[in-house]
A and B are shown apart, each in its own frame.
Chain A
Amino acid sequence: MTSLSVPMIKRPVHPVGAWGWITTIDHKKIGIMYGITAFINFLIGGIEAIIMRAQLSGSNADIVSPEVFNQLFTMHGTTMIFLAVMPLGAAFFNYLIPLQIGARDVAFPRLNAFSYWVFLAGTLMLHLSWFMGEAPNAGWFAYAPLTSTAFNPGHGVDFWIVSLQVLGIASLAAAFNFIVTIINMRAPGMHMMRLPLFTWMTLITAILLVLAFPVITVALLELLFDRNYGMNFFFTAAGGDPVLWQHLFWVFGHPEVYILILPAMGIVSEILPTFSKKPLFGYSTVILAGVIIAFMGWLVWSHHMFTVGLGPIPNTVFTITTIAIAVPTGIKIFNWIFTIWKGSVEFRTPMLFAVGFIVTFTIGGISGVMHAMSASDAQQQDTYFVVAHFHYVLFGGAIMGIFGALYYWFPKYSGKMYNEGQGKTHFWLMFIGQNLTFFPMHFLGMDGMPRRIYTYGADMGWTEVNALQTAGSIVIVLSVLVFMKNFIQSWRSGKQAPGDPWDARTLEWSISSPPPEYNFEEIPIVQDRDDWWARKRGLVPRIAPSGASGDGHGIHMPQPSFWPLVAAIGIFVGAWGVIYSVPVLIIGAGIMIFGVYAWSFEPVNDPESEASTASGDAN
């Protein structure tokens, strides 16, 4: 088999240092890289938000030009959704899924590395648009025909299209990987109705991704063809219909909302039982509610279009479907509260974030139902009321959940304990800050302030409320600084963490912190939904695994590889080529094909490498 492989560079066997990270295919290292990159993106998106808040802090402010303001809100939305919240979720999928299902790695470790590198390529593409002086400026929704070359010359929108396509490749590759991993790599006894909730929500998220991303891929291709090859998809003079873009965008965009929030729901469903010392209340109901939410997510997209003029019949239908989605969401909230009910509740930092999530997410859910009322939504659509709503869902929901997860699994991935006092300070600052920033937006919206305006007059009566919100956003900044201090200090010099600091319930806590490279010395045999808890409490008999280690073999770990990185570099170069020049596109495609070729003929484990010759019991 090696005769076909590309023998140019020697395959890394046990690389160390930076090279060890670059060539790694260990899901845990990839998860950490995902997390750090995404957190930097979160900071960049936050800086963009703070500049906007400064501009809006008073009437007729002149801190940034309208063009820059438009670029800021476009980039803030795109960055937070595609570069921060989604990959922060992906960081935890990567790190935790194999640990939670009792596996040694994901199904396709090199594809996993490829996902990360392509995600990094898309991240760089999007941010570099600032340095090229052509940041996208048409909003994260990019409504046609404002994105056409007639109204939007330059390369800003092209950067947006190409970055999202590249990020789409990364997300799809990761989603395929996690679907296969969760379905196919569960430890013996870990049947579907024993999967931890976070794993379940990951599976649903991955399925949504696989089905939703192709829709935006096609829409972006159509826009790209329009802009660069003079096609007519959204060219109004040739009969192109701007409403088609909105349909395509939101058919993707609404499932995307659940792609963002379902992982956070999974996280909360892990934290609450641990710190209440009780199993999740109504395990199957919570899963079923997640499945129904995901399914219903496909039937509600036109509630983003209540004022487009679709007519009363579509608006009635989408009002009903949108209202209906509140039912499974409500079920989840009650199930969470009843998980705490009669529990033994300990308020460590993750628990604070989980309970805070319930509070803010409930507010976001209720304002969501308010939006579903298409009759009155004609007033709220495109106002700050919408901004309030989705920040309660995405910041108060997704981001709160993710911070909860960052604390909850901190001992696991860092091997250290964080500082509890600073963690709690972080929570309270963030909880107060976000409510100060986002709650007044409801009133601004009802007071007629539209979204996406870079300035407003002193006579509009919006000045004081805006100033209050800007003050709130500064509190959020403080809270993030507290987090970063705690995070960096604790990781460097925190107290050594035991394997199971929280007396938790799921498999990842049954191994050391941080876990060894191969995760499980012995693949566990799962006998209970909360198997680790049941084992600790002696509720299930201890079954010796079938072999000395693994499935009767030695532990085989896939070897590092740099071909995923090479393929991703090819994609990065090619993406630049799409924007700037065809020869560069061809060079990029060449690099990618070379990388994929070398990759496909490289065995998962090279039998001739020293790693396997060192193996004692190779069969």
Chain B
Amino acid sequence: MAQAPTTPPAVVHQEEHEKTTTGLNHKKLLMWAFLASDCMFFGTLIATYLVYKGKSKVGALPEDVFSIPVTSVSTFVLLMSSMSMVLAYAALRRGSLKGFRIWLLSTILLGSTFLGFQVFEFYEFVNHEVTIDCHEFAANPDGFSPFEAGIAGDECTEGVDEYEGTHGLTPRTNLFGTTFFTLTGLHGTHVTIGVIWLLGLFFYSFKKGAVTPARHLDTDLAALYWHFVDVVWIIIFPVVYLFGVFEGFPT
């Protein structure tokens, strides 16, 4: 083999579009590998949730705290954010930087709205109010969930007409609280990172030439991540919320 030259050959600036074996950009391939890894991450969390489903010994259960209408709205909001992300990307490829920014901003707002819903929901669960009509409990104890019946049994003593008190669900309350907050909390963390990423992209787009129809890779990667996080929620919503509340779903 030839001797190594004493001075290295000239060094040049790296191109945006590096030549790769598959033609796929390095970063995009990295993103796909990362998402595969993240699938296992959420898969394990969901598996843990399912293993412990119905195994809580005390405290509130899904049917006691979930509000399907509220979470349906937040799910819809997150779905819409995926759509606006698609539109942002499409606008960019079309060459409309203005359209890109509008749709990107709306994605950010929708994502933040979802996070707002989650904060609200967590707050509601932690400060869950229980109101029990003791006369109704005496007349029809079967109409109460085991959780409420337990509270009623303790609180509905002689002469109490109605009981009202806070019986919150926290990560320490029971297995449901532990697994629910961990799963949805880590999903929320992913959404938060996504929102910060998109915000960064939004400001970056004001730098001249940073985001153009030809330089769309940064947007492409952010969009991939965003859709992934959305898809994870599409699994969490039925598995955790719907199966948790409606009878007849597998337990």
Contacts and interface: CB of A to CB of B under 8 A. Distances in A.
> In the complex, are there CB atoms of A and B closer than 8 Å?
yes
Interface of A: 4, 107-108, 172, 175-177, 179-180, 183-186, 190, 210-215, 217-219, 221-222, 225, 229-233, 238-241, 244, 248, 251, 499-500, 510-512, 516-518, 521, 549-551, 553-558, 603-605, 607, 611-612, 614-619
B143 to A, nearest CB: 26
A554 B21 contact: no
Contact of B4 (A107, A233, A239, A512): A512
Interface residues of B, number: 47
Interface string B21-60: 1101010011001101110110111001001100111100
B62 to A, nearest CB: 16
Interface string B154-172: 0000000000000000011
Contacts of A603: 14
Nearest to A615: B10
Nearest to A230: B172
A521 B29 contact: no
Contact of A556 (B14, B40, B179): B14
A87 to B, nearest CB: 19
B32 to A, nearest CB: 9
B178 interface: yes
Contact of B12 (A172, A229, A240, A554): A554
B50 to A, nearest CB: 11
Interface string B116-129: 00000000000000
Given A210-B37, A214-B41, A225-B178, A553 B12 contact: yes
Contact of B13 (A4, A184, A618): A618
Contacts of A190: 21
Given A214-B40, A221-B182, A229-B171, A556 B21 contact: no
A210, A232, A240: residue with the most chain B Cβ atoms closer than 10 Å: A232
Contact of A619 (B8, B12, B177): B12
Contacts of B1: 499-500, 510-512
A176 B34 contact: yes
A89 B143 CA distance: 62
B10 A554 contact: yes
A248 B20 contact: no
B4, B12, B19, B51: residue with the most chain A Cβ atoms closer than 10 Å: B12
Nearest to B21: A186
Contact of B24 (A184, A211, A558, A607): A184
A184 B56 contact: no
Nearest to A237: B57
23 contacts: A180-B26, A183-B21, A190-B21, A210-B33, A210-B37, A211-B37, A211-B40, A214-B41, A214-B44, A221-B186, A225-B182, A231-B171, A233-B175, A240-B52, A241-B52, A511-B1, A516-B5, A517-B8, A549-B9, A554-B11, A615-B11, A617-B12, A618-B13
